[in-house]
């Protein structure tokens, strides 16, 4: 009996050790992706949505849009794709608020494409990939917050886009708040690499029960 108990404890410790090492490696991957700017000449810039307030982008979303505008003015790509639908209770879509902001900052209507249905990163990128591929556009630059880079790059690959990331460096999310989101992304990426990002998105009502998985 003692021998079985010792064996069981060893097995549990080994399993815990594997999980800790896996999460540590994934955290490093998320952190390194956050520091990398892979912007290169592409066919489109995709801006991942964030909160908007009565048709005005939140500071987080505005920082992403400002970076996309900079890339557009550098001729990185001729088109900016804004993403994000309505959250419960909203009158405006994130994409609509983003498009208005781009207009106000001199981006022409013909250079803006809208994805207005997504409520998660997977939904937005999957929908954007559908209409972009119908236009023979697959080479894209993804713009979001740094902590988001690893996961959106993996999702973009899954939906058939040739994507690199160029995170904004002016986000108001900094310090401990950025670290919290980096940890949340570590959990999501760790799970996504095992189960698949599409499956996690389909079952997000379950993943919300696990701390760190709910949308930040």
Checking if the pLDDT of 82 tops 50, the result is yes
Q: What pLDDT does 3 receive? A: 79
The strand order across the sheet containing 112-115 reads: 112-115, 80-83, 44-47, 139-143, 162-165
The mean pLDDT of 74-98, rounded to a whole number, is 93
Give CA–CA dist 94/127, Å, rounded: 14
Query: Among the ranges 13-27, 145-159, 189-203, which has the highest mean pLDDT value?
Result: 145-159
Contacts of 2 (CB under 8 A, 6+ apart): none
- pLDDT tier at 205, thresholds 50, 70, 90: low
pTM for the predicted model, two decimal places: 0.90
Beta carbons within 10 angstroms of residue 193's beta carbon: 15
List beta partners, residue 57: 52
Share the mean pLDDT of the chain: 92
Pairing assessment for the beta strands 44-47 and 52-53 based on DSSP bridges: unpaired
Give CA–CA dist 63/40, Å, rounded: 20
DSSP state of 62: H
Q: What pLDDT does 208 receive? A: 53
Give CA–CA dist 139/135, Å, rounded: 11
Share of the chain above pLDDT 90, in %: 81
Checking if the pLDDT of 151 tops 60, the result is yes
Checking if the pLDDT of 25 tops 80, the result is yes
Taking only Cα atoms into account, the Rg of the chain, rounded to an integer number of angstroms, comes to: 19
Q: Name the least confident of 2-16, 139-153, 187-201.
A: 2-16
Hey, what long-range contacts does 102-106 have (CB within 8 A, 24 or more apart)?
Answer: 102/65, 102/68, 102/69, 105/65, 105/66, 105/69, 106/69
User: Which CATH class, in words, describes the domain spanning 1-216?
Assistant: alpha beta
- pLDDT tier at 209, thresholds 50, 70, 90: very low
- pLDDT tier at 89, thresholds 50, 70, 90: confident
């Amino acid at each position: 009996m003692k021998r079985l108990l010792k064996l069981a404890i060893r097995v549990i410790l080994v399993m815990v050790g594997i999980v800790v090492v896996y999460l540590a490696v994934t955290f490093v991957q998320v952190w390194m992706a956050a520091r990398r700017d892979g912007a290169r000449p592409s066919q489109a810039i995709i801006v991942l949505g964030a909160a908007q307030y009565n048709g005005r982008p939140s500071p987080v979303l505005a920082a992403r849009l400002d970076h996309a505008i900079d890339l557009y003015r550098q001729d990185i790509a001729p088109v900016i794709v804004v993403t994000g639908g309505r959250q419960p209770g909203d009158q405006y879509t994130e994409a609509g608020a983003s498009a208005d902001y781009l207009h106000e900052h001199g981006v022409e209507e013909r250079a803006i494409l809208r994805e207005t249905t997504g409520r998660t990163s997977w939904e937005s990128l999957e929908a954007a990939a559908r209409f972009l591929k119908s236009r023979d556009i697959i080479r894209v630059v993804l713009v979001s917050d740094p902590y988001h880079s690893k996961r959106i790059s993996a999702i973009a690959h899954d939906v058939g886009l040739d994507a690199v990331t160029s995170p904004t460096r002016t986000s108001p999310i900094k310090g401990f708040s950025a670290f919290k989101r980096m940890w949340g992304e570590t959990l999501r990426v760790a799970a996504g690499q095992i189960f698949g990002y599409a499956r996690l998105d389909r079952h997000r009502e379950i993943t919300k029960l696990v701390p760190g998985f709910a949308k930040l």
